[in-house]
Chains A and B, each alone.
Chain A
Amino acid sequence: MNGQDREVLLEVSGLTKHFGKNEVLRGIDTTIYRGEKIAVIGPSGSGKSTFLRCLNRLEEPTAGAVLLHGEDIVTTKKINECRQKMGMVFQHFNLFNNLTVLENIMFAPVKIGKARLKKRRAAARRLKIRQFFGKDRDRQIETGPSLAQLEKEAKDHAFELLELIGLADKASAYPSTLSGGQRQRIAIVRALAMKPEVMLFDEPTSALDPEMVGEVLELIKKLADDGMTMVIVTHEMGFAREVATRVMFMDGGKICEEGPPEQIFGAPKNERLREFLSKVL
């Protein structure tokens, strides 16, 4: 577990968030390497969700930086491009109620692909006009796949993902007709449809009936085994112990202790962590 030879994916430094006078994050520093599975644990109100939501700027940080491949998410103008590389899964699933399961999964890839295609076509048109006047003769712009191709690819990918979770027969159902476990698994593959480099989970099983927790954790585990980088806020200590490569204990808006699960659960040093573990284990 030597950090030097691994690729840095996210570099968080001095991350601070205030809600009015309430200091929820008080300077978080950490580096997330590709392939890491990080479990974030801590008491309620310690700022875990806020930390996760600052990573993709769903919450505007008050200060600090979050570098994704060197681009600062906090100040970037291309926040949408950055978010496409980071999938997020919410406690309450947040599937789009007005779309079917298939449409939920295809929606973002098609919409974003379309916008990109439009942009490229406009650029190609402008170039053509310039070339007509004898400029930039040697340049060329690839417009990429056509709209039909784009849609077909997205559809095939969506079906592949649905097959992965065994819900292909629900492709044309609306979210309101599905169970919580099914909804959450679909929410996970919806995020995967954008082919993200890192997945952020905010208590993905907290809103589920106990009998459905297993199927969702199993899917997350499968992703972990496939090498996906992930940050999971969770109260499932057993799961954290089993899947995480690093556990982060947060309290009072700070990372109090972090390390491999054996250390955190086996030999906790921090007093607050020991107290927390004695309550939840």
Chain B
Amino acid sequence: MLFFQQIWQAISTQKYILLFLEGFKTTLIIAVGASVLGLVLGTLVSVVKIAAQRNRRSVLLRIPEFICNLYVSVIRGTPVALQLFIMAFAILAIRGFPLELTAILTFGINSGAYVAESLRAGIQSVDLGQTEAARSLGLSEAQSMFSIVIPQAIKNVIPAIGNELIALLKETSIVSMVGIVDLTNAAKIIGAGNEMATYLAPMVVAAIFYLAVVYLLIFAVRAIERKMKQSEQHIDEKKAEKCRVRMEKRMKAIEANYQKEQLRRKSA
């Protein structure tokens, strides 16, 4: 019973709930910022890697390819906590530099490497015939990549990328190690306070926050997946209707032109 009382205390005390919300906000800001950065970086890196792989003769692509390979292997081969320390205590140890931004950069760069690998696998899973068809029509490599291949690759990797973003959200909890007050750290601070005198209740509250967001993400990913599958398997009724109307109009116009032509011929 005491446990539930403590939980109630943790969420009903204004001081505590404000601290929780503040921490939750920080967690979300870091996760969202890092996700955006990670997706952009990951896309760039995977495109460079694929382009270099498909144009083995191009010396110009060798250098960026080397940098990308180095980036991916270093990031994936070292612990993220270490990366955070290096960023916070060495590279970005600048007075006044906001720690949250350091965290966003660290996690963004980190997840970029994982996103790049997923996306690269996704791009490779798209039939080469799609690229060949686009190139045979006279489209450039970039045009066929960004308009034809990547949209299909994204569809294939949405589950993997979704998992990556979920993992990222949970991993952000280590920012407490450099003193940022995120959700996890907020729970720790509350638990350490004299009034509470227990860690369990605030930690459970934080866990519920995390779980709620994770489940929301899981549902979102599933919904997107379903939507994408549907759109390619069924005829979009609205679009079909629009097309039908257009067609009728066109046929009428053609008919009218023909009638006019006939009249003119008769009079001539």
Contact = CB atoms under 8 A, between A and B. Distances in A.
Contact of A94 (B133, B235, B236, B240): B133
A20 to B, nearest CB: 13
Contacts of A194: 137-138
Contact of B147 (A84, A107, A174, A190): A107
B174 to A, nearest CB: 38
B152 interface: yes
Contact of A83 (B127, B136, B148): B136
A144 to B, nearest CB: 17
Interface centre among B133, B140, B152, B240, by most chain A C-beta atoms within 10 angstroms, is: B133
B138 A174 contact: no
A96 interface: yes
B239 A90 contact: no
B222 interface: no
Contact of B130 (A88, A94, A108): A94
Contacts of B133: 88, 90, 94-96, 187
A80 interface: yes
A111 B129 contact: no
B234 to A, nearest CB: 7
Interface residues of B, number: 32
B151 interface: yes
Interface in B212-268: 231-236, 239-240, 242-244, 246-247, 250
A82 to B, nearest CB: 8
A98 B152 contact: yes
Interface string A21-32: 000000000000
Interface residues of A, number: 39
Given A84-B138, A88-B136, A92-B129, A174 B232 contact: yes
B135 interface: yes
Given A90-B129, A108-B139, A112-B139, A96 B236 contact: no
Contacts of B247: 159, 168-169, 171
A80 B127 contact: no
A108 B247 CA distance: 22
Contact of B235 (A80, A86, A168, A173): A173
B61 to A, nearest CB: 16
Nearest to B246: A159
A58 interface: yes
A58 B135 contact: yes
Given A176-B232, A177-B234, A102 B136 contact: no
Contact of A56 (B136, B147, B235): B136
A249 B147 CA distance: 39
A159 B233 contact: no
Interface in A109-132: 111-112, 115
Interface of B: 127, 129-130, 132-140, 143, 147-148, 151-152, 155, 231-236, 239-240, 242-244, 246-247, 250
Given A83-B135, A168-B243, A173-B235, 4 more contacts: A58-B136, A112-B138, A168-B247, A177-B234
Interface of A: 56, 58, 80-84, 86-88, 90, 92, 94-100, 102, 107-108, 111-112, 115, 156, 159, 168-169, 171-174, 176-177, 187, 190-191, 194
13 contacts: A56-B136, A96-B130, A98-B152, A107-B137, A108-B134, A108-B137, A111-B139, A159-B250, A168-B243, A172-B235, A174-B235, A187-B133, A191-B137
9 tightest A-B CB contacts, nearest first = A84-B138, A94-B133, A94-B129, A108-B137, A88-B136, A172-B239, A83-B138, A171-B243, A174-B232
